[in-house]
Amino acid sequence: MPWDSLRPYPAALPFVTGAPWPCHSPVLRASLATTTTMLAAGFTLTLLMVLPGTRADLEGAWCYDSQDPTCGPTHWKEVAPACGGPAQSPINIDLHLVWRDPTLGPFIFKGYNAAPPGPWILENDGHTVLLRVDTGQQSRLEIHGGGLPPSVYRARQVHFHWGAPAYAGSEHSLDGQRYAMEMHVLHVNSRFRSMREALGHPDGLAVLAVLLTEQDTDNPSFSVLVSGLKNVSARGLSTELASTFSLASLLPASSSLGRYYRYSGSLTTPGCQPAVLWTVFQDTVPIGRAQVAQFQTLLAAGPPGSGPTPLADNFRPQQPLGSRRVTASPGALVRAAAPRLGLDGALAALLTLWIGRQLGQGV
């Protein structure tokens, strides 16, 4: 998730004063407490180091291994120390280890079901292709509910991660299974007056992560976006989309939006601030194989002294979960782990086995 694509809100953005939000989920509250402690322990200073205020500050300072291993993910902590800290993203979601959380209710979407006035801007920033959807009061897209803090979260941009041809490119995985692409819809907590402020809090951002699966036929919902890719073929290019569309059309079906997983994590690109409440939907969304190929034709800057390189494999390696917990909404799939037998259970199992053998021998 590119932090450098997050431009500050206009000064007119409402600010809600008051105490920090009350988290109703004990599991999420414990996870956020860990992240807050980490911030208090010094990562606020890191934030100031990697967010001097201009988008160009980290430009060219980091990349993916597919572009140049000398500035790939293993080196990100050299330009953004938080990338080497705890509570990082993405992760594998092990469905045997998730905790079901009854407080993770349905989302309430505002503005998602209609095509807003726009215009929407599509941009190749050299790390991904992103769609800027926060273009004015009439285009405002918001979410709340879904176990999030009571603040409204406003959509800022949509961006994508993908692999090289014939390889998976999602950042998150479910039970170790990765997918062709991953789409992130990034929202900012309206409780904060600026992006800088939001990035300093563990509930500053809310990201909806949608896993995309390849299919033979195109998905019409992606047609407008994919048709604009030819106009942003190289780093630094941007274009106004021919039209806007319903953002809900890129999400899983409305009947499955209640099946999701939640954890506290970070941006998946430098500066890696641990400021994200992640929602990873269980149900995937299809995208055509030819549409995926259009993303794979985009170009990024290559190593110094070389020409542009294909923009592919733009995903961060998965990070340790550590002491965090992943929670599941009531409708999401949870795989029950095989119970571990205690001493009494083991003795009972052995006794049952012995009795069965004795009966089989006619004793």
Residue position matching structure tokens 């509250």: 29
Contact (Cβ atoms closer than 8 angstroms) between residue 280 and residue 261: yes
Q: Which of 75, 96, 127, 184 is catalytic?
A: 127
Give the Cα separation of 205 and 265 in Å (integer): 10
Give the Cα separation of 190 and 280 in Å (integer): 21
From start to end of 163-217, where are the E strands? 173-174, 181-189, 205-215
Give the Cα separation of 192 and 11 in Å (integer): 12
Q: How many CA atoms lie within 13 A of 234 on its CB side?
A: 4
Question: How far are the Cα atoms of 164, 338, 343, 348, 359 from residue 353, in angstroms, in the given order?
Answer: 53, 19, 15, 9, 10
3 state DSSP class of 70: helix
Contact (Cβ atoms closer than 8 angstroms) between residue 141 and residue 155: yes
Give the Cα separation of 157 and 90 in Å (integer): 18
Q: Is the alpha carbon torsion for 115, 117, 122, 123 positive or negative?
A: negative
Q: Is 127 a catalytic residue?
A: yes
3 state DSSP class of 253: coil
Ramachandran angles phi, psi of 71, nearest 5°: -125, 20
Residues serving a catalytic function are 127
